[in-house]
Amino acid sequence: MDKNSLLIVGAGFGGATLARIFAENNQKVIVIDKRNHIGGNSYDYLNENNERIHKYGPHLLHGDADSKAIKFLSRFTEWTKYEHKVRALLSDMSTTSLPINRNTLEHIFKISLNSDLETKNFLDSIREKSIVPRNTDELFLSSVGEKLANIFFRPYTQKMWGIDPKELDVQIGARLPVRTNRDERYFTDNFQFLPKNGYFSLFEKMLDHKNIQVNLNTEFSKSMEKHYKHNFLCLPIDQYFDYCFGELPYRSLIFENKLMINDNLSASQVNFTDNSPYTRMTQWDLLPNCQSKNKFQHTLTYERPVDISKNPGEYYYPVQTQKSRRIFQKYEKLSKNFDHITFCGRTGLFKYIDMVPAVSIHLQKAYNFLKKIN
């Protein structure tokens, strides 16, 4: 430790991006993480079957090919093209395409739709056009109507977030597009790739710099702060301030890996639309950068959402409600009085952030800081 170094807590995309930019700008950096690996929630590994497993659920990288974030990441990995597709398991055990698109509508309503316009008109006839959505449930009704909300969104959202969709901010549902064409890809970005040798390898290269020291199995404590020029904290902001304004709500997930001897799933990810405890299952060897291609044995990971109290320390999804937003704003305001710390990452910013935006945000944070000190 020395007063000329920067401390970064968290070796996920937020912390690793900061670390690399600082290191390349002649700053000495110490990165600590309480886990025994780098990569944060994007960490992956090869299991005994030689399948590449994303330890904290499937991570699909997507974004704008011309963005600074993707150009930055491309310095540390080669890419394998992969356009993610998701199927939803229905009550008759058939699967259908998600996000909802023309093929989904034809399957559910047993009709045939011959153009975008015909599909749009059909959607208009089933959705509740007069609603101006103020919450996620109203968003479902206004974009797809009662029947599709009941099949695809209400039970899934309830188990995912543990609260009624009526209480969820409209932004949560706004992440689910509805398409009038037959595009079955989950994302439409012009860059959809996986790191050829996995995320762990990408992180190893990103953090491999003479000015970066990584200390794993190291929990942050406030007594560390005084030893560093500045502290970047990718940790829960409410925890740092001893929950003085109350606890910020998070959803966590329990991952259950099962070795199955069966046929391939209809897609690498299949969502459960019913009231069962699971939200989705992933078949890893359907991802193109999975090492193993064993025809008969596949690891499937089932995800079961739980309250954070059932999986302590595993903060996955910030639950955005009006109440939690107000609490966060109080913490954010308080943090402005602390010149020597900057909150970062999903839990410091209390915001769900995908990987590419996480890199963009932290590139910007790094350059802002360098400008300030130079």
Of 10-18, 91-99, 130-138, 202-210, the segment contacting ligand FAD by CB under 6 A is 10-18
Crossing angle of the two packed helices 355-373 and 13-24, in degrees rounded to 10: 40
175 catalytically annotated = yes
At residue 345, the 3 state secondary structure works out as helix
CB 152 within 8 A of CB 272: no
Of 13-21, 113-121, 146-154, 322-330, the segment contacting ligand FAD by CB under 6 A is 13-21
Of 126-134, 160-168, 195-203, 349-357, the segment contacting ligand FAD by CB under 6 A is 349-357
CB 97 within 8 A of CB 103: yes
CA–centroid distance for 197 within its chain: 20
Q: 300-319 mask for ligand FAD (x: CB under 6 A)?
A: ----------------x---
- Under the criterion CB under 6 A, does residue 345 sit at the interface with ligand FAD? yes
Which one, 32 or 265, has the nearer CB to ligand FAD? 32
Q: 219-238 mask for ligand FAD (x: CB under 6 A)?
A: xx-------------xx---
User: CA-CA distances (angstroms) from residue 360 to 69, 108, 143, 315?
Assistant: 5, 39, 30, 21
At residue 307, the 3 state secondary structure works out as strand
- Under the criterion CB under 6 A, does residue 52 sit at the interface with ligand FAD? no
Of 122-130, 208-216, 326-334, 351-359, the segment contacting ligand FAD by CB under 6 A is 351-359
Q: Kindly tell me which residue out of 27, 42, 97, 180 binds ligand FAD, with binding defined by CB under 6 A.
A: 42
45 catalytically annotated = no
Of 110-118, 167-175, 189-197, 352-360, the segment contacting ligand FAD by CB under 6 A is 352-360
354 catalytically annotated = yes
> φ and ψ at 129, to 5 degrees?
-65, -25
Tokens of 78: 């080669």
Instruction: State the Cα–Cα distance between residues 350 and 3, nearest whole angstrom.
Output: 29
Q: Catalytic one among 35, 52, 87, 280? A: 280
Q: Kindly tell me which residue out of 113, 355, 363, 366 binds ligand FAD, with binding defined by CB under 6 A.
A: 355
SS3 content of the chain, % helix, strand, coil (to 5): 35, 20, 40
Residue 342 has what DSSP assignment?
A: E
Instruction: State the Cα–Cα distance between residues 39 and 245, nearest whole angstrom.
Output: 30
Which one, 148 or 234, has the nearer CB to ligand FAD? 234
- Under the criterion CB under 6 A, does residue 106 sit at the interface with ligand FAD? no
251 catalytically annotated = yes
Number of Cβ atoms within 10 Å of the Cβ of 336: 7
303 catalytically annotated = yes
179 catalytically annotated = yes
Which one, 266 or 311, has the nearer CB to ligand FAD? 311
Q: Kindly tell me which residue out of 5, 41, 299, 301 binds ligand FAD, with binding defined by CB under 6 A.
A: 41
Helix (H) or strand (E) holding 194: strand 191-195
- From the CB of 244, what's the least distance to ligand FAD, in Å? 17
Name, in order, each residue with C-beta under 8 angstroms of 257's C-beta and a sequence gap of 6 or more.
Answer: 47, 53, 299, 300, 301
Q: Which amino acids are annotated catalytic?
A: 175, 179, 251, 280, 303, 352, 354
